[in-house]
Structure 1
Amino acid sequence: MPRWLYRYATGRPLDGRTGYPYLTRGAGRWPGWRRQLLRFGVPAAAGITAAEPREAAAVAGVLAAGAAWRSRRRWVRRRFRRAYIAPTLAALEVPLGGVRVRLHVDPGLGTLMPRLAKPPSPAEEAARRWYGEHLEPVLRWPGDRAMRAWWTLQRTCKPVTKRLEVFRRPGREYGPRIELTAATPYLTREQRQLISSIVGAKVPAGELVEVWDQVGAEVTARWTVRRRPPTAVGIDALLEHLPRLHEWEFFLGLGTGGAPIVLSLRDDSPHIAVSAGSGAGKSVLAQLVAVQVLARGGRVIILDRKGSHRWALGLAGVDYCVKPAQMHDALVRAAAVADQRNSDAMHEDDDWDPGPRTLVIAEELNATIGMLATYWADTRAKNEPKRSPAITAIGELLFMGRSAKYNVLAIAQMLTARAIGGPEARENFGVRCLARYTTNAWKMLVPEAGMPRASRTLGRWQIVIGGVATECQVAFLTRAQARAIAAPAAVSPGGLDSSLSRDVPGDGDKITLREASDLGVIPWTYEAAKKRLQRDRAGAPKPCGQRGPSDLYRREDLAAWAARSSTPIHEGADAA
């Protein structure tokens, strides 16, 4: 009898079974505190009813209201349970062999609720319209006022609650999730894989992160929504993190939760492989690494036949090669310098600095290798080797670049082994960046890493290091910002100096219309300025030269033209 009374008072099963915790359900239907509440609440309610009928009626009314609210909630979710939870539990009976399973699915996951939505009939639309116009404003008014009062109380108490935050233990905030609990201490790998496939097929909630916990008497699986990086990263994030990095570290962008993604050319890999489809932002990623090299006093060699890096024209420390002959000479010189640095390092200490870092950017490497081979076949003498010295130089840089501080950033849509000089040369790329990739490209470059779904967000990359893929939103810089950051004086703890944003090297006081828009000389976007030039032919400034296909204008003429245009025209109107 004492044991029975103890179990009754503490909410434990009366027959002495274990596995029924107090706060959670465990193996039972109710947690211990609910059983305890029921065991004490029913006798208490009966006594109050016998002694005080009026108070008992009030309590019964409150309980009836709570039961009605709970019943309505269950009624609303009945289709959800019938469509997702019940079929999933039925399918899980086979792999689990009759083990008791609890399944929780948040309706807010993906498109679960919209999948169940049905188009309303005209009568239902009319009823909902009448409800929204006549009843809903009245019913929402008390709730809105109560919420406003609660917000006012929170603002009043914020000075005190903010100080008390230091005593609060952080809890686990999973957000919308699918949670499965099996009353068994262990599940094999095959069982877990089968359960994952069943849940993914029966509950189509999109791309989720799966976590298994087999510690304890029960096995718990949890599928949560994959947290994404921000949709856009700009110069502010770069200026915030750049002064904190070492000379061999480079900021690429922000990852999940706004965490900075930093690449180390000393610890991770001396060379970077970039593979992406057309328009994915390969040149933007290369520009971001290049400006950080230049900001620290390094040099950049750009092999770019199509002119994707016009931001680097005329910058100090940049060797821009657009012709095969220029590429050939630059690569041969770079390999000779790297070889000399390695020879000098043999007689120096381990921490000897060979000199400024040099980054070699090879745009569209598949086509570049072909151009170098063709150029050498046309120009070589009979006594010279058949293999292009420039292609040999690329291979030498890949194998000896770390100690000589020569790094290669190879860009290609499909970075095949033949394009880079063989499988052994491609293995020197320990850092591989992919965007808008295909299944073939992923399996060819990073077969050891699981392939996530390719994102359609511009600037969203997968940075794969050591077989681990990290999603990253790469920072985007405008042409003016890139040229300003490339100056070594631009990097300071205080950020980018305001004068540098306008100090973009060019042809003296002659700038193009796009540069004037980027620098703020004219208060319109480039497209809007083009429209104004077409409309205001009498008062618009006249070109004073040409740089490639773009017209050059005097800076003071553009500024005076912008000052004369007193009537503001919005971009939307210009576009129209």
Structure 2
Amino acid sequence: MADDLERLVRRLHRRRIALRLTYRYLAGRPLSGRDGYPWRTRGAGRLAGWQRQAVRLGMPTAAGVAVVMPEQTLTAASALAVAAAWRGRQRLVRRRFHREYIAPTLAAIIPPLGLQTGVQLHVDPSLGNLTPRLAKPLSPAEEAARLFYGERIEPVLRWLPERVQRAAWAAQRRARPVTSRLEVFRRPGEELGPRIEVLIDTPYLTREQRQLVSSIIGSKIPVSDLVESWHQIGPRVRARWTVRKRPPAKVGHDQVLAHFPKLPDWEFYIGQGAGDVPVVISLREDSPHIAVSAGSGAGKSVLAELIAVQVLARGGRVTILDRKGSHRWALGQPGVDYCTRPEQMHDAILRKAALADERNTLALHEDEDWDPGPRDLVICEELNATIGQLANYWAEVRGKGDPKRSPAIAALADLLFMGRSAKVNVLAIAQMLTARAIGGPEARENFGIRCLARYTANNWKMLVPEASMPRASRTLGRWQVVIGGQATEVQVAYLTTAQARALATSPADLDKPLTSDVPGDGDMMTLRDAVDAGVLPWSYEAAKKRMQRRAGKVPAPRGNRGNADLYARADLAEWAGSKP
């Protein structure tokens, strides 16, 4: 009887062990019965419970299916092999990314902060060109394999996902009338996008520690033009670097009309910045002169035109030194002295230097806030070539006893040093504004406003070494305006020729075209404009006396600019040819 009872107990014990082993096998738990291996997360060097469960149940199932359906199993196995290879490649890339960026950066951050652990770093691979930096050069065999994959395999693999995506987009468009009304109930969330984020298990970091962390991030992770923010409320410190918001892709006539009339005489609207914020430069507060450096076709003349028409609209004058004819909008424009030949440029610069010297002399005997008169803007196009042409011209005409250096080049340097109080400003344009192109490094330091586009690292370091260099944009009209070592990304406003001429000629009515009583677009000029442009053969004082005596066929005024009357160019030319 006792033996039967003992055999029954052993049998029940064995059955209990078998049930436990079966449960542990199916549940993904260790067969030894040891605890401490969670089902969701992985243990130290071991699989998670769900992974172990998938292996234990999947392998017998796959074996049974392979016996029953060998052909379908082979197809499925091929698909799984492709997916496994793809996932393995992704995992290798992530491991290389972690080894190249994450691990070294953490190793550099943790010791200076005095922390053993408790620092988490997240870096989005989509930032900049971080992932392409890890790519190694391909061998000819690898290039051939990638070409074959791209031409033969990838189109087949992407056919179904693309169709599904297009169907989803079509469904979204169909549902838009309904979903658009539901957007009023959606709470705005924080759209982070690609970012670098550091979480530090400490409640506070000093300013020096924050600067150290920021310096390490900038040195170890080669991504520029990010916005840095710190959050120290709570038990942990969080630092985040996000992608800077970009200006709008296009800015035009409407934005100029909206912002320009509100500005004082010394401020100029040039375009929109990040967040669609207007960008304004000041020739009184920021700098009296502007340097423009960009590659060919970047829009240098567009930027110069935008500033010039604002000067003209306020009653000022513009002198353009332009050998190649980039400013056709200014031909015949009142208040514009367009110089295309070296002798014209030479004389024009000497006149402006004399004007600045005269105004500065008068300013000595006037109050501190004395206004010397309308603003004069000198636009020097392609300065690298213009300086050489002025030097060659002077070498040809220089007489015995004349100085070797061109007086025009010396006068241009004088304008850069004394133009602020005289309201004579220089806008220098060059593909690379070297010290030699502007007359020396001292003269170049007078440009407090520096605009760059399509720049190289060499050009940036030469012109604005004090500012950190953002990545050059390929968007047409996208500029970096550097003032006081701070670079601001700007989409410069674009004006057509008709819009520019209308804005420069009709400042009182900016949003309307020229009126019909104007004989031609840009043919209106004051008496002084006519003398300077050579339309009248007399001096300004002689022309005024002739008009007062009504000598000849005196033209009738067609309008006014400030206190000065405007006359038609054709009427002035007829008056100059008539006999008293």
> Which of 94, 97, 101 lines up with 1:83 in the alignment?
94
| Secondary structure at the counterpart of residue 409 of structure 1 | strand
1:416 aligns with 2:434: yes
Q: How does 1:250-399 map to 2 (within 5 A)?
A: 250-399=268-417
Q: Say if 1:80 and 1:402 are closer, same or farther in 2 by CA, change over 3 A.
A: farther
Aligned to 1:209: 226
Report if the CA contact (8 A) 2:353-2:415 is conserved: yes
Report if the CA contact (8 A) 1:275-1:435 is conserved: yes
How many residues were matched structurally?
A: 413
Structure 1 residue 258: Cα displacement = 1.1
Q: How does 1:43-192 map to 2 (within 5 A)?
A: 83=94, 87=99, 89-95=102-108, 96-97=110-111, 98-104=116-122, 149-154=178-183, 173-184=191-202, 185-186=204-205, 187=209, 189-192=211-214
Q: Distance in 2 between matches of 1:377 and 1:283?
A: 29
Q: Distance in 2 between matches of 1:331 and 1:345?
A: 21
| Secondary structure at the counterpart of residue 479 of structure 2 | strand
Aligned to 1:469: 487
Q: Distance in 1 between matches of 2:393 and 2:175?
A: 78
Report if the CA contact (8 A) 1:480-1:504 is conserved: no
Report if the CA contact (8 A) 2:317-2:376 is conserved: yes
| Secondary structure at the counterpart of residue 447 of structure 2 | coil
| Secondary structure at the counterpart of residue 308 of structure 1 | coil
For 1:310, the aligned partner's letter is: R
Aligned to 2:511: 496
Q: Distance in 2 between matches of 1:123 and 1:460?
A: 40
Report if the CA contact (8 A) 2:314-2:507 is conserved: no
Aligned to 1:402: 420
Q: Deviations over 1:47-90 (max 9, x none)?
A: xxxxxxxxxxxxxxxxxxxxxxxxxxxxx999579827865554
Aligned to 1:434: 452
Structure 1 residue 385: Cα displacement = 2.7
Which structure 1 segments of 5+ residues have no match?
Answer: 1-75, 201-205, 509-576
Q: Say if 1:390 and 1:226 are closer, same or farther in 2 by CA, change over 3 A.
A: same
Structure 1 residue 275: Cα displacement = 1.1
Q: How many percent identity over aligned positions? A: 57
TM-score where L is the length of structure 1: 0.63
Q: Distance in 2 between matches of 1:444 and 1:359?
A: 25
For 2:245, the aligned partner's letter is: R
For 2:451, the aligned partner's letter is: C
For 1:240, the aligned partner's letter is: A
Q: Distance in 2 between matches of 1:268 and 1:481?
A: 28
Structure 1 residue 120: Cα displacement = 10
Aligned to 1:193: 215
Structure 1 residue 126: Cα displacement = 7.2
TM-score where L is the length of structure 2: 0.62
Aligned to 2:504: 486
For 2:359, the aligned partner's letter is: R
For 1:193, the aligned partner's letter is: S
1:445 aligns with 2:456: no
Q: Say if 1:153 and 1:469 are closer, same or farther in 2 by CA, change over 3 A.
A: closer
Q: Which has the larger radius of gyration?
A: 2
| Secondary structure at the counterpart of residue 369 of structure 1 | helix
For 1:496, the aligned partner's letter is: D
| Secondary structure at the counterpart of residue 333 of structure 1 | helix
Q: Distance in 2 between matches of 1:82 and 1:364?
A: 48
Report if the CA contact (8 A) 1:251-1:262 is conserved: yes
Q: Distance in 2 between matches of 1:290 and 1:124?
A: 54
For 1:94, the aligned partner's letter is: A
Report if the CA contact (8 A) 2:199-2:237 is conserved: yes
After superposition, the CA RMSD in angstroms is 4.0
For 2:284, the aligned partner's letter is: R
Report if the CA contact (8 A) 1:80-1:113 is conserved: no
Report if the CA contact (8 A) 1:490-1:496 is conserved: no
